[in-house]
Amino acid sequence: MPVTRSNRVSAACRASIFPQPKVIAESRFFASRTDYSALDHSTATHPASSLKSVEEVARAKLLSVTQNARLCAEHVQLMDTSPGYCSYFLAYLDRHQRLLDAKPALIQEHFADDVWRMLVAVTLLNKTTGKKALPVFWMLMDKWPTAEAMADANLDELIDSIATLGLQNTRAKRLHAMSGDYVRNPPDCLRPIVYHACKSKYFPGDDWDRVAHKELPAFLFWEQRGSKLITPISHLSGSGQYATDSYRIFCVGGEEWRYVRPKDKELVRYLVRRTYRSKEIARADPGNEQRWRWALEGMQWSSELGADGQANEAYIEALIDDLVSNDPAL
């Protein structure tokens, strides 16, 4: 399919933000291994070469993904002593690569360094599919490429420009007001300092000098008001939970994404949401939801429980199937 303006975000996202890691055979790989003796490696083949044995292909693959002497030695020992390990190793690499290739392509990630454009995009995407919203987004960026330009835009013209998406009056007023707020008081100048906060995961007590522990979010001085975290974009018009969650996941950087539990289906799919469709998997793990970014960490994740257990093969395969069939950029 040719790369057009409407689908180029998908291509850019897939190719840039998360480059494929050179080393994927890490310690969690060993922790996830199963009973290799149950695998029949005598007749197994791999697409890398039908003329080579599984053992030869596995050793070659091992050297292509890591030069770490300790890891290589551990893998080679398992290849030599555990029946079926070579087949398991190749299956793991194949599954990991397919998981990387199935990465959700969200426009928020494409504009992680341009908060205003990211906020415009999420305003259009709210309750609207990417297939409808993205062409309108690019058209708006052609007409009003900066926050200053959109803040000065004629409101009626802005309404007409997004009429095909529905809710055009509300969206246009929100875009107009948000752009004005952004010009007058951009996010970089707002770093709220905690004077008081409600007890929460990040603020467990009354002694604020002692709350600095490993589970604090990236911005230690964001203010907690009840259940709402006041972030550097919270003062902008229309910055609801979807916008705030997108900002925290894609724009903040560091480990902040680990502390976000979004409700939006595509953000959940990025972290990533998947309700099992397979009856067999559902019986084994009822109601579990799949998460792409956490899956790369080797973990299962849900918006209710957060990181909750190790991701097994069935989990990863179900997640890959869902991501491939539910690309938000399409």
The rounded distance, in Å, linking the Cα atoms of 70 and 88 is 19
Q: Find where tokens 């995009």 sit.
A: 121
Contact 93, 65 (CB under 8 A): yes
As a dihedral over the C-alpha atoms of residue 115, residue 117, residue 123, residue 128, rounded to 10 degrees, the angle is -120
Separation between Cα atoms, residue 249 and residue 264, nearest integer Å: 12
Instruction: Check whether the bond before 272 is cis (ω within 30° of 0).
Output: yes
Mean pLDDT by runs of 10 across the 330 residues of the chain is: 36 33 39 46 46 81 84 88 85 79 78 92 90 93 96 96 93 95 78 42 44 43 58 87 89 79 81 38 33 66 69 75 62
CATH entry 3.40.50.720 includes domain 107-190+235-262 = no
Q: Tally Cβ neighbours within 10 Å of residue 152.
A: 13
Q: For helices 69-81 and 54-65, give the axis angle rounded to 10 degrees.
A: 170
Q: What is the predicted pLDDT for the residue at 304?
A: 67
Packing angle, helices 85-101 and 54-65, rounded to 10: 50
pLDDT confidence of residue 81: 87
Q: Which pLDDT belongs to residue 149?
A: 96
Residue 291 CA to residue 289 CA, distance in Å, equals: 7
Q: What is the sign, positive or negative, of the torsion defined by CA atoms of 172, 132, 1, 316?
A: positive
How far apart are alpha carbons 66 and 61 in whole angstroms?
9
CA 24 to chain CA centroid, Å, is: 18
Residue extents of the structural domains in the chain: 54-102, 107-190+235-262, 194-230, 272-329
pLDDT of residue 119: 95
Neighbours of 211 (CB within 10 A): 16
pTM above 0.75, yes or no: no
Q: Rounded to whole angstroms, what are the CA distances from 110 to 8, 104, 121, 250, 260?
A: 10, 12, 11, 9, 19
pLDDT at residue number 243? 92
